[in-house]
Structure 1
Amino acid sequence: MAAVVAATSGVAHAADNLPPKQPLVEDLTTETKACATGEDRAYVGAPPTLRAALYDPEEDNQPAEANMVKGEFEAWWTDADGVEQRLTYTTNATLSGARQLWRMPQDSIPANTVVSWHVRADDGTEKSPWSSEGAGSVCEFVYDDVSPERATITSPEYPEDVLWVDGVGVYGHFTMDSPSDDVVAYTYNFIGGPYATVQPKQPGGSVTVPFLPLRSGPDRLTVRAIDRSGRSSGESTYRFYVQSGRAPVAHWRLDDAAGATSAGAEKGTAARAGSGVSFGGPAPRGTDLASTAHLDGSSHGYLTPDAPAVADPRKTFAVSAWVRPARTDRTMTVAGQDAGRSAAFTLGLRQEGTTPLWSFAIGDARVSGGAPETGEWAHLLGVYDAETGHAKLYVNGHEVGTEAEAAPAATTGAFQIGRVRHGEAYRDRWRGDLGDVRVHDRVVVPAEASQLARHRPGLLGHWSLETAPAGASPDQNGGAPLKLGDGAAIYRSPDSSCLPELDPDCPVIPSPLVGDGHLTLDGRTGYAATDGPVVDTSDSFTVGVVVRLADAEPDRPMTVLSQGGEHTDAFKVRYQPSKHAWQLVMPQRDEQGAAETVVAQVAAADGGEGRGHRLAVVYDDATDQIRLHIDGGSITAATADFPNGWPSTGPLQIGRARTGDGWGEYLHGDVDEVQAYAGALSADEINGLGWGTDPCLC
């Protein structure tokens, strides 16, 4: 081979040209599909772009910019008359290693015909071997110009357009099938999801997908069939109508009259009560229960219908109850079902080392979580989903622990409340109160879990602050009034016969914050207060208020709400000018200088203008969280963990807080619409605070 010497910028290069490298099959693609033949060949929905990476040897001793190669593509096929047809294409030269492309002509490639192709590299002097030579291979594709037919959809559980069909928490199985024999996938979605793609076991086959309705109402499944070329069918739509989740298969409220010897069943068989069971005990606040049953933890403290409640533990079921343990230092059973000499499942409290946890066990699988507290109500729900094979545990409407894969026993025996089978005897007996034991033969979905565990908040006081006869602003519902101290007054806009927008001499008279009046505080001594505590700060509560600061740049912290203990406030809401934020402050003990939990929401001071801010404090004892909302529940709340709320004994204060041994942080501004509730309001309910009415506590 001739040697060429080139001079560039005073540097000589010896260039002994070598032929380009043979293209590798793994560097070739038809569109994005790998080079393949036979059953693995590519199928495309349009004449494809062929791609190849081509290399010139580095040993050519050329500068990098001189290693240029072009690609020679060749494609061939046999036409309908049995005659071989060929097309060729040569690319422009590009740098070695770059991708070379051939966009095949639209009108030259026949449909539904196997087309073969290969490529080689040309550096202008030498050509590489074809990619199909030696250990290489040709590439094949088929251009498919016909989209697949629409999919058909069927479901035995949810027939199309039938009103109404069972139901929330009951799986449906939807089969998608297309008459086209080249369909390799189906894309589908239900209203609100899931959105997914599934593949049949073989081209042209059908696919069945499970779907768990989470809400009642009309639903729709939309499907497209996708063939191996990537072409999509038209859209198929399947409409079905889901009714509400069906009632429990067994249900004992346990609110029977004192002295009863059995628990009546809302559904199922009455449960025989041992002598260690007494009825007429306390019920969880804000529920439909009027009373509950107390089990003394002895061998006589149990209830049983002497029959199974779960017909087959291998199928989907759920078990739930309101529970209040009298102790948390031992393992105790709320409910379970016999399976020979053991239990098919158990729901209850489990002592793990020194830590008590709520627990749901099926066979050898167990889900644990939550924090049981002596004397505190909790709602437990265990769910076994046979479709997924997993067990879940909900505490107070929230999923806890990690769902576990379970293998239930086939044996069924009597349902038990307050004890669990172990060998020839029972053990782990419940000591405490139980109510509203339910067994479902379906999945209880998350929204239902929240509803079952819901404590409906109760209104404790609503002070509209529009009047204050004899220095006391009344509660709208007849409860204790807010008494006004010095420096506090009710503002009501005076009557005026002129309109400022029509008469330039008419004075502008400010409107009350909400309704016909509001409380105005002077920032020095002004406050209003009840005679005693309003909310139980050791339990869930909500307090809302509308407030407008008089100063745009306050020079000190100012408190709008507080309720105190003996030595400090149990909570207070204040504006902290150094942070330009409203703060919720929760001392962790009733002690001077106790550590505090502080949550903050940023909002500018009003400066006596505008409509003020709607603030709400929400403490949820079930989740041990405290939140501060500004201007409704739709705004993201500032949240903090607060596991140990303590009961305050002092009155509700408007406009001041405890400071040292006295009072301080007096508010200079306006206050309206003070509302207090036992229980934690939801975000939607918080949106209803501060408008002059009470929100719907549905």
Structure 2
Amino acid sequence: MGCLAAAAVLTAPGTAHAAENLPPLQPLVQDLGNGTRPCGAAGDRSYVDEPPVLSAVLYDPTEDDRPAEGNFVHGEFEVWWEDADGAEQRLTHTTSDIPSGTAQRWQLPDDSVPANTVISWRVRANDGTAVSAWSSEGDGGVCEFVYDDVSPEKPVVTSPDYADDDAWHDGVGVRGGFTMDSPSDDVVAYRYRPMGGPRQEVSPAEPGGPATIRYLPESEGPESLTVEAVDRAGRVSETTTYDFLVASGRAPVGRWILGDAAGSATAAAEAGPAADAGTGVTFGADAPEGTALTTTAGLDGGDGAYLTPDAPVIDTGSTYAVSAWARPAATDRDMTVAGQDAGSAAGFALGLRTADAGPEWSFAVGGARVTGGAPETGEWAHLVGLYDAETGRAQLFVNGQEVGAAAEAAPGEDAGGAFQIGRVRTGDGYGDHWHGLLGDVRTYDRVLVAEERTGLAYRKPARLGHWSLENAPDGVSPERNGGTPLTLGTGADIYRKSDTCDPFLDPECVPDPEPLVGDGHLRLDGETGYATTGSAVVDTTDSFTVSVVVRLADAEPDHPMTVLSQPGEHTDAFKVRYEPSAHAWQLVMPQRDEAGAPETVVSQTAVADGGSGGGRRLAVVYDDATDRVTLYLDGQAAGAATASFAGSPLSSGALQVGRARDGDGWGEYLHGDVDEVQAYAGALRAGDIGLLGGGADLCFC
């Protein structure tokens, strides 16, 4: 009867009852850990560098007669091992009650766990009424770890290419092998850091074995490699420092400057064999300004537009680079700068290709091709095609900057045929002849590193004007090197400090403030004050740099004020102004010489000076080679201070100091002080910008 009554109570609808307590779930191996390492079950034991915190996530079923968050459970841990005499040693620990699903932890005492001994452990859950199965039972497993208290021995580093012997070894752009080997048999990784580079890691093929890396030196001089061995417990060895000397990069294996005398039938070679010139080649053409080249070769695009040494100069199965200055006379068809024959095709080809989106520079290796950049008719560009046999990648660089995406490439058929300038092998003949100018064609049997690529593409700026604004006799402030002066308009004058006040002789006199730079500066009244050269200074269609030191007279200007501008017919080609609504200096460049044309604006946040302080040094750089504009403030360019800019309209107007174009007139007059106005043809490098505004001319030697 008792059993029947109980059954009746349990099945009666709407009757309250107490559910039977369910035992906690068996802990799962994947929910257990030795510190930051896994449980180490099934023979895959963990190695640790200190007695670990054992952890286990334990669960009590939610079907118990209480909400899930009310299910509390504690863990019962067991740890055991055999001591040196073969006797089993055992430790146990019970944790506090905490909510189900929460990690339970036990920090093993430092003095209780022996080193270099296999430690086994397991855990079970207890909800105060029932216990789970042990984590080791059934489909579970015993967790194991070994506490390793000895760090590995420091590695020995050797290199057959860059020996540590106080001798210079080849060289920049040439990889060398470095082998790291620790005497310890449990090393699983080597951490290494080249001098000045990031820390990297490499693993040996098997624990305790050596590991070899390939390292590419990018600069000449003393180098070092610091290396540490890491064992399976994560312990790190003492550091080994391996010193070696890197020689300068090997000279080109082929170089044709193409600066030969007009009428020459052959291009002399600085390296490699001389190149015979086809009938479509004319020497004595223009050279890119700012380079060491004085003349180049013009190719007419016809069948005779080529030069060749009639011999190979590149081993296309190895690492190589090819570079040249190129100025296309047209961009409406495929053209080749340089290549090398490979049977009836080309082993590689550097040049120009047409595409639906417009012309692109191109570097093809085997069946792979990298394209990028935007060739422009009549504009010089420096090209580098690089194939790295160790990485299997082809890369293309235009004006020192990588373009396109590096391509996985294979040399294909041995390109043991003749090197070609201005054409490419196609079947039984040649095609894609170059139309335009070419200069300084080079080939290398190594990697051209970043500094070399940018150095080859660098065009030295030319100083166009430097106005120190120290004085202005008859309202004209001279250019310090005898160039076009700045003429001051109404509302502008030169401030010079008075020397009549000497506080030592007259304690009550107040000395005049110092000029911004040097002995004087330009002072503008904000209403009509300005200064102008009377004619254009910078060619805004090409790379240029302008700079100035400026101090605003107002702490809270009520309208935009322009410090430098140069107008076209309908708008300013560029202007540098302070925009009080944004509390920022801005560079504004329209995309066309039209009123209301879309503008590119880059900014640098700055608080207005309010007539005090040493002023702010501003510099504008337009780099036509990379199609970027940058605004520097006190020598720095923040992220928002640079932007892409495809091309600047021609500016035929005079350089203006202190005002900007406003419709058919002028506006945005600056109220403040101006000093050290400088202008350059070409884009100054970031490292040179910090030298502007100090009063001295820059020397690009």
Q: TM-score, normalised by structure 1?
A: 0.93
Give 1:8's aligned residue: none
Determine which of 235, 240, 248 is the counterpart of 2:239.
235
Determine which of 646, 655, 660 is the counterpart of 2:658.
655
Give 1:418's aligned residue: 422
Q: Secondary structure at the match of 2:30?
A: helix
CA distance in 1, matches of 2:71, 2:645: 69
CA distance in 1, matches of 2:571, 2:97: 83
CA displacement at 1:57 relative to structure 2: 3.5
Q: What letter is aligned with 2:267?
A: A
CA distance in 2, matches of 1:562, 1:66: 73
Counting only pairs closer than 5 Å after superposition, residues 79-98 of structure 1 correspond to structure 2 as 79-98=83-102
Q: Secondary structure at the match of 1:684?
A: helix
CA displacement at 1:210 relative to structure 2: 1.6
Greater Cα shift, 596-605 or 616-625: 596-605
* Per-residue CA distance 1:278-305 (angstroms, 9 max, x = gap): 1110011101100110011111110111
CA distance in 2, matches of 1:329, 1:378: 17
Give 1:190's aligned residue: 194
Q: Is the 8 A contact 1:15 1:62 kept in 2?
A: no
Q: Is the 8 A contact 1:463 1:673 kept in 2?
A: yes
CA displacement at 1:545 relative to structure 2: 1.4
Q: Is the 8 A contact 2:152 2:182 kept in 1?
A: yes
Q: Secondary structure at the match of 2:687?
A: helix
Give 1:624's aligned residue: 627
Greater Cα shift, 588-597 or 467-476: 588-597
In the alignment, structure 1 residue 289 sits paired with structure 2 residue 293? yes
* Per-residue CA distance 1:250-277 (angstroms, 9 max, x = gap): 1111111111111111111111111111
Aligned pair in 2 of structure 1 residues 667, 421: CA closer, same or farther (>3 Å)? same
Determine which of 595, 607, 613 is the counterpart of 1:604.
607
Q: What letter is aligned with 1:597?
A: T
Aligned pair in 2 of structure 1 residues 16, 382: CA closer, same or farther (>3 Å)? same
CA distance in 2, matches of 1:484, 1:547: 16
Aligned pair in 2 of structure 1 residues 527, 60: CA closer, same or farther (>3 Å)? closer
* Per-residue CA distance 1:386-420 (angstroms, 9 max, x = gap): 22111111111111111111111251211110001
CA distance in 2, matches of 1:464, 1:45: 66
Aligned pair in 2 of structure 1 residues 243, 14: CA closer, same or farther (>3 Å)? same
| Structure 1 segments (4+ residues) deviating >4 Å | 62-66, 634-637
Q: What letter is aligned with 1:119?
A: V
Q: What letter is aligned with 1:672?
A: D
* Per-residue CA distance 1:425-471 (angstroms, 9 max, x = gap): 11111000000111111111122211111111010111111122343
Aligned pair in 2 of structure 1 residues 19, 268: CA closer, same or farther (>3 Å)? same
* Per-residue CA distance 1:648-688 (angstroms, 9 max, x = gap): 22222222333222333333332211111000112221111
Give 1:580's aligned residue: 583
CA displacement at 1:362 relative to structure 2: 0.5
Greater Cα shift, 578-587 or 298-307: 578-587
CA displacement at 1:37 relative to structure 2: 4.6
Q: Is the 8 A contact 1:165 1:243 kept in 2?
A: yes
Determine which of 378, 381, 402 is the counterpart of 1:399.
402
Q: What letter is aligned with 1:431?
A: H
Q: What letter is aligned with 1:491?
A: Y
CA displacement at 1:489 relative to structure 2: 2.4
Aligned pair in 2 of structure 1 residues 482, 346: CA closer, same or farther (>3 Å)? same
* Per-residue CA distance 1:356-388 (angstroms, 9 max, x = gap): 000111011111110110000011111111221
CA distance in 1, matches of 2:259, 2:668: 48
CA distance in 1, matches of 2:152, 2:575: 66
Give 1:366's aligned residue: 369
CA distance in 2, matches of 1:682, 1:13: 83
CA displacement at 1:320 relative to structure 2: 0.7
In the alignment, structure 1 residue 537 sits paired with structure 2 residue 501? no
In the alignment, structure 1 residue 351 sits paired with structure 2 residue 350? no
CA distance in 1, matches of 2:597, 2:149: 77
Identical-residue share of aligned pairs (%): 65
Counting only pairs closer than 5 Å after superposition, residues 288-367 of structure 1 correspond to structure 2 as 288-310=292-314, 312-353=315-356, 355-367=358-370
Give 2:565's aligned residue: 562
Aligned pair in 2 of structure 1 residues 20, 581: CA closer, same or farther (>3 Å)? closer
* Per-residue CA distance 1:113-150 (angstroms, 9 max, x = gap): 32322223333443333322233222222222222111
CA distance in 2, matches of 1:596, 1:327: 29
CA displacement at 1:345 relative to structure 2: 0.6
CA displacement at 1:189 relative to structure 2: 1.4
Greater Cα shift, 450-459 or 515-524: 515-524
Give 1:639's aligned residue: 642
CA displacement at 1:161 relative to structure 2: 4.7
CA distance in 2, matches of 1:76, 1:526: 90
Give 2:553's aligned residue: 550
Q: Is the 8 A contact 1:457 1:680 kept in 2?
A: yes
CA distance in 1, matches of 2:105, 2:235: 23
Aligned length: 690
Q: Is the 8 A contact 2:502 2:511 kept in 1?
A: no
Give 1:431's aligned residue: 435
Give 2:211's aligned residue: 207
Q: TM-score, normalised by structure 2?
A: 0.93
CA distance in 2, matches of 1:70, 1:568: 78
Q: Secondary structure at the match of 2:169?
A: coil
Determine which of 470, 473, 476 is the counterpart of 1:466.
470
Q: Secondary structure at the match of 1:26?
A: helix
Extract unaligned runs of 5+ from structure 1.
Answer: 6-10
CA RMSD of aligned residues (A): 2.5
Q: What letter is aligned with 1:257?
A: A
Q: What letter is aligned with 1:294?
A: G
Q: Is the 8 A contact 1:182 1:228 kept in 2?
A: yes
CA displacement at 1:338 relative to structure 2: 0.8
Greater Cα shift, 167-176 or 448-457: 167-176
Q: Is the 8 A contact 1:630 1:637 kept in 2?
A: no
